[in-house]
Homo-oligomer: A and B are copies of this chain.
Amino acid sequence: MPADLPKSRAPSIRDVARLAGVSHQTVSRVLNNHPSIRDSTKARVQQVMEDLQYRPNRAARALSRGTSRTIGVLAASSSQYGPASSIAAIQDAAREAGYYVNTANLTSVDPDTIEAALDHLMLQSVEGIVVIAPQMRVFDVLEQLSIAVPYVTLQSTGKLNEHGLSFDQISGARAATRHLIDLGHRNIYHLAGPQDWIEAEARMRGFLDEMGAMDVPTTAPILGDWTADFGYYAGRELLRVRDFTAIFSSNDQMALGLMHAIRDAGLSIPGDVSVVGFDDIPEAAHFWPPLTTVRQDFPELGRRCMALLLDDISAVSPERRGAIIPELVVRASTGPPAF
């Protein structure tokens, strides 16, 4: 065995060059698939790279090229199923495209936190940013800082449409609402997400639009915080009056809490109250009763989002942005009203 000398430094492009008997530039060309390299030369260089376990140094490359091949993800509530799935898909898509991903989590939404997170990303000279922190304020801050790199978001906002890509939350919410109306319900509550959230806003608008279009009187939506705990407490409050036969919840977790409260009150689902959720998390089919909900394909969204951003970065801009239509999944938590 050829006594593998314990070089203290990792092999560089010049080490490879020396051993292959070529110039460092030729090695660089092999690395970057330059067309005019003789096949025999290329093979020899690649052999040496293999022998030396050569790895190109990313920092050096970034420095010299002035580009980092890194994109940043700005995410809120990243431990929830939806965002987490999208993030995973984004990372996979990025890796496939030869990009690296760096994630910054937002623990709160005050401007300082947002700015700090953005700073963190900019410090790494990211070439683009994906925002999965669908709060209005985040976009205010983004606009204000006039970010120097392209960014896209998973949620569409009225004013930032040029950066947006999204599920058509509104039509998803309308489909859910329509389903309840078609079943005969006329007294329907909406349990919405937090005020500041774009998704919450869109779903609420879908609900109100459909109710309006079908001429069904509405009550003011209740603003929740996405958690099952909140759904439970909101359900308890609502049931003190019990002037409704159906509830459309802005996400599946709150719907779960709601159903818990309804059962606690001795009522049956969907006999006394129908419940519709939103997202179709993998567990929704096994809730009791199995939840009627609106399915979103988060991984697909993540992938498309990434494609969009990569286009932006390379400035091709083929107008691929647009909405994905979510699908209503009818299970056992909805039925006709009792009266």
| Residues of chain A whose beta carbon lies under 8 Å from any beta carbon of chain B | 55-60, 62-63, 68, 78-81, 84-85, 87-88, 91-92, 95, 100-105, 107, 120, 122-125, 227-229, 231-232, 253, 256-257, 259-260, 263, 282-283, 285-288, 290, 298
Contacts and interface: CB of A to CB of B under 8 A. Distances in A.
Contacts of A298: 79
Given A63-B60, A84-B78, A55 B123 contact: yes
Chain A at the B interface: SS class: helix
B104 A95 contact: yes
When all copies of this chain in the complex are counted, the total is 2
B123 A56 contact: yes
A228 B282 contact: yes
B102 A286 contact: no
A283 B283 contact: yes
A68 B288 CA distance: 50
23 contacts: A57-B63, A58-B68, A58-B123, A58-B125, A59-B68, A63-B63, A78-B87, A78-B88, A79-B87, A79-B88, A80-B84, A81-B81, A84-B84, A91-B105, A95-B104, A95-B120, A100-B120, A101-B103, A231-B286, A253-B283, A263-B288, A287-B287, A287-B288
A102 B104 contact: no
Contacts of A60: 59, 63
Contacts of A55: 122-123
